[in-house]
Amino acid sequence: MSKRFFTAIAIFSILIVADKGLSETVTFPSLLEEMVNPRITAQWPEPEYECLQFSSFDRDSRDKGVPSWWDNKDRSHFIRTEQNEGRKEFVLMDAEGPGAVVRFWSTWHGPGGGEFSNGTLRFYFNGSSEPEIEAPIADVLDKGYLAEAPLGNSVAKTTEYAKRGHNLYLPIPYSNGCKITYQTGAFIDRGAVEGEALYYIINCRKYTKGTDVKTFSLAQLEKNKALISEVQKTLEKGLKFSSKPAASFSAMLKKGDKSRITLAGSRCISGIKVKLGGGDVSEALRRAVIKIRFDGKPAVWAPLGDFFATGYQLHPYKTFYAGVKEDGTMYCRWIMPFRSDAQLAIENIGSGTVHIEKAEVYTEPWQWDENSLYFHSRWKQWKDIKTRSNKDNPANGAFDLNWITINGRGKYVGDALTIFNNAPRWWGEGDEKIYIDGEDFPSHFGTGTEDYYGYAWCRPAKFSAAFHAQPCGAGNFQRGFTVNSRFRSLDAIPFSKSLKFDMELWHWAETTVDYAPVMFWYAKKDSSSNLDPQPEEAIKPLPDISEEGRVQIDIEGAIEGERMQIVRCEGGRAFVQKNTRFGWSEDEQVWWQNGKPNQKLVLSFESEKSGKFKIYANLTKARDYAVVDIRVNGRLMKEGLDLFNPAVKARETLLGKAEIREGENSIEVQIKGANPKAVKRYMFGLDYIKLIEAE
């Protein structure tokens, strides 16, 4: 067994006490070891690096303050196109010097929303004309060509594969440059107006010139098989807490009360656990705040639930750095060093009583040196912020929100966003824009809020992965609550002078939302941020969530097609389409693309009543729409309904009478063919149905 493997086993089986970097030379194994060593995250990096981002953000977004700054064709934009050995390759990333790819996210669809080609992804290292990695993109990112989950994962597992976010966290180092390209036989145009859509975000490290980096090769996967397996297990199971906490308490906190722990010596907090007692803990999660001072300076202020990335609702999830157990215990594993002392307090700033059933703080030894950094966290809320309100951007009303600006030297290591959405529309089209050390244009420019958090297509499904999670997504398409989190290990962002983090707020609807991010970073003691504690925000009333996630059914009104469940789609792709030009109710329809004759789409909807009803359907007609049969609860309602029209048009059509059940009902659409004049894409679109009680 190799010396390196013994080192790896030691990392996972005993307390880590080394406060220095693992190696002067950066290698594939050293990056794997660093990934699961949170002590290194708490230090200024050695060797130093910048964290860069390459993405498919809309290239028309160049000038701040003009409408194009918020353009949204964040797909199929590339650095350039090349001819390599007769192949047309689109360049996604081209980085110079020593570095490492540390995160690769992507999602996709084929031309017109159809089936994706799964073209070839290639990694070229150190100026070579021969790729070291060459395989279909889905295979590379999450189908095991390089790594299985959690290092290569797609989320959520309950979401159909075509609508997932695909994430690769396996580190890929290189000594003198890396170029990543994509090749496909499918048609690709700028911004995927008609062609294949490839969304991507790649984070890489750029090490200081002269850093010794050993370039990745596929042979290293087999050579380091045991280490990879140990890393996978550690990411899945998380780091264990030591058997005994350094301090603990239980308390009943009335308004203004606090419980405090004081720690002395040169040590680090290595974990915190808190479990609340009582019934509904929503108020306590927001009204109880955690405050931490290190060596006399305030560093952490956040509502308890937000600090543990669960917001004001408890939803079980598990990541490497934080989580919520099934019994409601919240925990985090951030390393929080201090030179001489630390004070941790939980204070009740609300009017009710907060029951702390148990709070535990764990510590480890820490040797303070010039690279040691202090842990920080701050929370911010925009209560009832109006969406689509930017008058300088009449196209969509989107605008940027400054989450935080930090001055000084440090590392940005993650955030979580809690949102309450007051409209049944998607809220997260906005892109992250992160400015490092005073740069005029953000070096991190993203493609969408859900993309930043590692999922895709606004999906509401819950998921937990090693470094990102959506414990609840109920508010993604409905009025309701959503919480997203992303924690950074190898993709932490160092800054020498400053970091400014803006997130664009672009909602599909004109409404209000409660929007509350919490940020996590490390910094020197003389650093500062533009965020002060916000107790006045934390005590504002929580939303009435009693109707959360419920589809409003009005028997004499509309049952929206886009809110129906897609039970089965036998071919092509069915999803929600938004467009303000065609007069659809709420500007949306459920859209079935690229099915084939005889294939079926089955939708389900809920009714509060049973009986015989006239059924009206607002159906879209266009030049590429199909001829279809429509059945309700198995009964044929319309046979050979021709949905061809030279221009896009929505029209309410009487389907007929049918028996409707209380509870779940079904609509089945079967493609029979197309009008001779139609473009043969066999589309179908349902805006809504209406149920009118038959006499």
pLDDT in tens, 50-70: 999 999 999 999 999 899 999
Residue 181 tokens, joined: 């390209």
* Per-residue pLDDT at 353 exceeds 50: yes
Q: What is the mean pLDDT of residues 190-203?
A: 96
Q: Are 56 and 447 in contact (CB under 8 A)?
A: yes
- Gap between the Cα atoms of 295 and 185, Å rounded: 60
14: three-class secondary structure by DSSP: coil
Predicted pLDDT of residue 574: 94
Domain 245-372: assigned CATH number:
2.60.120.1390
pLDDT tens profile 659-668: 999 999 999 9
Confidence of residue 377 (pLDDT cuts 50, 70, 90): very high
Q: What is the mean pLDDT of residues 3-28?
A: 52
Each as own residue / partner, the long-range contacts of residues 569-574 (CB below 8 Å, 24 or more positions apart, any chain) are: 569/595, 569/601, 569/602, 570/595, 570/599, 570/600, 570/601, 571/595, 571/596, 571/599, 572/114, 572/115, 572/596, 572/599, 572/682, 573/109, 573/113, 573/114, 573/115, 573/162, 574/601
Predicted pLDDT of residue 12: 41
Confidence of residue 546 (pLDDT cuts 50, 70, 90): low
* Per-residue pLDDT at 328 exceeds 90: yes
Neighbours of 686 (CB within 10 A): 26
Q: Are 365 and 475 in contact (CB under 8 A)?
A: no
Crossing angle of helices 225-237 and 3-13, rounded to 10°: 10
Predicted pLDDT of residue 7: 40
- The structure tokens 């009832």 sit at 384
Tell me how far the alpha carbon of residue 398 is from its chain's centroid: 19
Tell me how far the alpha carbon of residue 276 is from its chain's centroid: 27
- Residue spans per domain, the chain: 3-237, 245-372, 558-693
Predicted pLDDT of residue 307: 99
- Gap between the Cα atoms of 674 and 31, Å rounded: 56
H/E segment holding residue 284: helix 282-287
* Per-residue pLDDT at 106 exceeds 70: yes
Predicted pLDDT of residue 396: 84
Confidence of residue 171 (pLDDT cuts 50, 70, 90): very high
Number of H helices, E strands in the chain: 10, 46
Nearest 10 degrees: Cα torsion 565, 570, 576, 581 = -130
* Per-residue pLDDT at 343 exceeds 70: yes
* Per-residue pLDDT at 262 exceeds 60: yes
Q: Do domains 245-372 and 558-693 have the same CATH topology?
A: yes
- Gap between the Cα atoms of 350 and 354, Å rounded: 9
- Give the whole-number percent of the chain exceeding pLDDT 90: 86
Tell me how far the alpha carbon of residue 132 is from its chain's centroid: 29
Phi and psi (nearest 5°) for 378? Answer: -140, 150
Confidence of residue 8 (pLDDT cuts 50, 70, 90): very low
- Looking at residue 219, its amino acid is A
13: three-class secondary structure by DSSP: helix
Confidence of residue 581 (pLDDT cuts 50, 70, 90): low
pLDDT tens profile 77-97: 999 999 999 999 999 999 999
Confidence of residue 3 (pLDDT cuts 50, 70, 90): very low
pLDDT tens profile 425-466: 899 999 999 999 999 999 999 999 999 999 999 999 999 999
- For residues 142-168, one letter each, b for 16 or more C-beta atoms within 10 angstroms of the residue's C-beta and e for the rest, the string is bbebbbebbbbbbbbeebeebbbbbbb
Q: Look at residues 70, 73, 54 and name the one whose alpha carbon lies nearest to residue 62.
A: 70
Tell me how far the alpha carbon of residue 219 is from its chain's centroid: 32
**Residue 165: which residues within 8 A CB-CB, separation 6 or more?**
105, 106, 107, 154, 155, 450, 451, 454, 455, 456
pTM assigned to the model: 0.81
349: three-class secondary structure by DSSP: coil
Predicted pLDDT of residue 23: 59
* Per-residue pLDDT at 15 exceeds 90: no
Q: Give the CATH number of domain 558-693; options: 1.10.260.40, 3.40.1260.10, 3.90.1150.10, 2.60.120.260.
A: 2.60.120.260
Paired strand residues for 417: 484, 517
pLDDT tens profile 222-261: 999 999 999 999 999 998 888 899 999 999 999 999 999 9
Q: Which of 20-24, 200-204, 384-388 shows the lowest mean pLDDT across its residues?
A: 20-24
CATH topology of domain 3-237: Jelly Rolls (2.60.120)
Confidence of residue 636 (pLDDT cuts 50, 70, 90): very high
Q: What is the mean pLDDT of residues 162-179?
A: 98
**Higher pLDDT, residue 395 or 77:** 77
86: three-class secondary structure by DSSP: coil
- Gap between the Cα atoms of 487 and 500, Å rounded: 17
pLDDT tens profile 136-157: 999 999 999 999 999 999 999 9
